[in-house]
Amino acid sequence: MTTYENIQVETKGRVGIVRLNRPKALNALCAALIVDLGHALDAFEADPGVGCIVLTGSDKAFAAGADIKEMKEKSYQDVFLQDFITVGWEKVSQVRKPIVAAVAGYALGGGCEMAMMCDFIIAADNARFGQPEITLGTIPGAGGTQRLPRFIGKAKAMDLVLTGRMMDAAEAERCGLVSRIVPLDKLMDEAIAAAEKIASMSLPATMVAKEAVNQAFETPLATGIRFERRTFHATFAFDDRVEGMNAFADKRKAAWKHR
């Protein structure tokens, strides 16, 4: 398996795990890390042995945001010409296989935004979420002003974006940002078990299910329902759909062809 400077990668069964690994900077998301992450995600996407990905950080920080020290010298021309944030970062939201964020400690700024680019977030009880960019004289730049209100509503999103305050795991679960909270020492077991469960399904089915749910954030309801209906119809072309329904009728476990 390729080794990287700013991340660690491994597979467990059919689960591909990416661990952000810049402990001295609380996993601040520097350009080199974003390049490493892109390569690792591409490799897992291309690997037929991987059915689900887990993105995680350390016990102390999922990621404390974009790298402020790297960012602070950039001019307007720099960020515009580089299309800063778009290039590389968007990869996480474009991964077609399911991707679960396992968040412990700080998930701030770009860290919170990166977690939101994943399909769902499992949080350790010490997780802290926030968009503190306002305290730096700027605003969230990796989707925070758009994904946060869609996920947790305007009141809570405005509160976080305008005050820059952090919320703990319990508040994040209450407002729907995270799907479950687990004790810190159980975080990876829980995230890997969830990812293994997903990876045990038919891969094309999990991929279109993800795509369909994501449409809910892109379209008016009627258009989204139409997309869902057509995609549901399209699953009837999957040989795994035939297998899944036959296995149910035969009272046996489905033997997926595409995993």
Does the footprint of ligand CAA cover residue 57 (CB under 6 A)?
Answer: no
Q: SS3 of 17, please?
A: strand
Examine the residue annotation and report whether 171 is marked as an active-site residue of this protein: no
In the block, which residue shows the tokens 């290039």? 87
Does the footprint of ligand CAA cover residue 134 (CB under 6 A)?
Answer: no
- For the CA atoms of the chain, what is the radius of gyration? 19
> What value, to the nearest 5°, has the Cα angle with vertex 34 and ends 33 and 39?
95
Site string for ligand CAA, 30-49 (x = CB under 6 A): --------------------
Distance (Å) of CA 46 to CA 40, 96, 105? 10, 10, 30
Written as one letter, the residue type at 140 is: P
Taking each helix axis as running N to C, give the angle between helix 203-215 and helix 221-234, from 0 to 180 degrees, rounded to the nearest 10. Answer: 170
One of 52, 142, 192, 254 touching ligand CAA (CB under 6 A): 142
Q: How far is the CB of 22 from ligand CAA (least distance, A)?
A: 8
Q: Which of residues 66-95 bind ligand CAA (CB under 6 A)?
A: 66-69, 85
In the block, which residue shows the tokens 């077991």? 189
Q: Which of residues 192-211 bind ligand CAA (CB under 6 A)?
A: none
| Token code pair at residue 226 | 């139409």
Site string for ligand CAA, 92-131 (x = CB under 6 A): --------------x-xxx--x------------------
Does the footprint of ligand CAA cover residue 25 (CB under 6 A)?
Answer: yes
Examine the residue annotation and report whether 196 is marked as an active-site residue of this protein: no
d(CA 121, CA 56): 10
By beta-carbon proximity to ligand CAA, the closer residue of 64 and 123 is 64
Does the footprint of ligand CAA cover residue 191 (CB under 6 A)?
Answer: no
Q: How far is the CB of 54 from ligand CAA (least distance, A)?
A: 22
Q: How far is the CB of 119 from ligand CAA (least distance, A)?
A: 20
Distance (Å) of CA 85 to CA 47, 104, 114, 150, 221? 26, 23, 11, 20, 29
d(CA 147, CA 142): 9
| Token code pair at residue 64 | 């404390």
Listed ranges 10-18, 49-57, 61-69, 173-181: which one lies at the site for ligand CAA (CB under 6 A) = 61-69
Does the footprint of ligand CAA cover residue 140 (CB under 6 A)?
Answer: yes
Q: Which one of the listed residues 57, 113, 141, 244 is annotated catalytic? A: 113
Q: How far is the CB of 138 from ligand CAA (least distance, A)?
A: 7
Written as one letter, the residue type at 30 is: C
Q: Which one of the listed residues 63, 104, 127, 133 is annotated catalytic? A: 133
d(CA 87, CA 184): 32
Examine the residue annotation and report whether 133 is marked as an active-site residue of this protein: yes
Examine the residue annotation and report whether 40 is marked as an active-site residue of this protein: no
CA 160 to mean position of chain CA atoms: 20
Q: Which one of the listed residues 40, 61, 66, 142 is annotated catalytic? A: 66
Sites of contact with ligand CAA (CB under 6 A): 25-26, 28, 64-69, 85, 106, 108-110, 113, 132-133, 136, 140-142, 144
